[in-house]
Structure 1
Amino acid sequence: MDQAFRSAHGVGLVDYQNNADLRIKIEMQRERDHEVGQQVAARLERQAHREV
């Protein structure tokens, strides 16, 4: 799990757990990524149901 976290975020899980500033930074980035993903999914959904 540490390897996956490190490859995804550039820091180890222990560093993430012990550094509050780093944790906030990573969580804010994860939230932005999630919002972008939701927007992309909504856009694709609209395009899939569009009449041609």
Structure 2
Amino acid sequence: MVFINTLDIQYTNGMEKAMHGAHGVGYETYKQKHEMRMKIEKSREEEYLKSQRLISDLERKIHT
């Protein structure tokens, strides 16, 4: 059984440039390839968590 799982995403030229810059792929690839989406979303989550830890560390330093 084959499942086709694509997303209906509307994006701007700037968003396309940012996607290429950050992840090396365009939105068409992102929309069509589930494994690529999962890899990118995992990377985004890791970057988000890293930034949250950095903010927490800075706030702690400011308030001590």
**TM-score normalized by structure 1?**
0.91
- Equivalent residue number for residue 16 of structure 1: 30
- Equivalent residue number for residue 63 of structure 2: 49
Structure 1: runs of 5+ lacking an equivalent: none
User: Can you list the C-alpha shifts for 1:2-34, whole angstroms capped at 9, x where unaligned?
Assistant: 111111111111100100000000000100110
Percentage of identical aligned residues: 38
Higher helix share: 1
- Equivalent residue number for residue 52 of structure 2: 38
**TM-score normalized by structure 2?**
0.75
Partner secondary structure for residue 25 of structure 2: coil
Q: How many residues are matched?
A: 50
Q: Let me know the Cα RMSD of the aligned residues.
A: 0.6
